[in-house]
Structure 1
Amino acid sequence: MGGKRRSYDAPFREGAVRIVMETGKPAAEVARDLGVHEGTLQTWVHRAKARADAEAAGGLNESEREELRRLREENKQLRKENSEIGMERDVLKRSVVLWVKEATK
């Protein structure tokens, strides 16, 4: 059905994208010259353009998006823990009130 899937290191991908973007050659031609599938190179170019557009628009880069995701998850966990602690506190307050009422009878 299909052959073994090849992987390319980051410097190779970046170099291939730079060739397409800086020379203006079609991605299909550059892909043939480098021995890369045309769709693969077009995907790399599309992602690079999207990153460049996001950075130009003041958006977040990949590491910032990952940190934001991690912080949101941490915030969600802390809110959950805070809610649980609040419920425990309320139960303890009610227990103390009942205990005091019972002790003063």
Structure 2
Amino acid sequence: MERKQYSREFKVEAVRLIEERGVSVAQAARDLGVHVTLLRKWARSLGKEGKDAFPGHGRRTPEQEEIDRLRREVARLKAERDILKKAAAYFAKDSL
């Protein structure tokens, strides 16, 4: 069974239906054919992240991009450290 995906516009309009028109979450969920929990999650996400909510498939938030960049840098620095440790051990062995 394939997971259903909704566009960013659909999610924003669904949340707008609740907030601006005063439709209850349960009623909006029934009308849209979406589970109530999912609709509440969208509303929370839009309220918390604003325009950065629902980045879409393959697009990440600026915070996630920074985390990924820092993870790559940590991996590179660990590799450099390991190379330097091996070089130090090699040269220490030769001096004995």
On whether the aligned pair clears a TM of 0.5, the verdict is yes
Query: Which structure's residues are more often helix, by fraction?
Result: 1
Which residue, out of 90, 93, 104, partners 2:91? Answer: 93
1:47 equivalent in structure 2? 45
Which residue, out of 14, 24, 29, partners 1:16? Answer: 14
2:75 equivalent in structure 1? 77
Count of aligned pairs? 89
Distance 1:36 1:88 in 2: 57
Distance 2:5 2:69 in 1: 31
Q: Unpaired runs of 5+ in structure 2?
A: 51-59
Letter in 1 for 2:15: V
**Deviation of the 1:41 alpha carbon:** 1.1
Q: Unpaired runs of 5+ in structure 1?
A: 53-61, 99-105
* Stretches (4+) displaced over 4 A: none
**TM-score when scaled to structure 1?**
0.64
Letter in 2 for 1:24: G
Letter in 2 for 1:47: S
Q: Which has the higher contact order (CA 8 A, sep 6+)?
A: 2
Q: What is the RMSD computed on CA atoms of the aligned residues?
A: 2.8
Higher Cα Rg: structure 1 or 2? 1
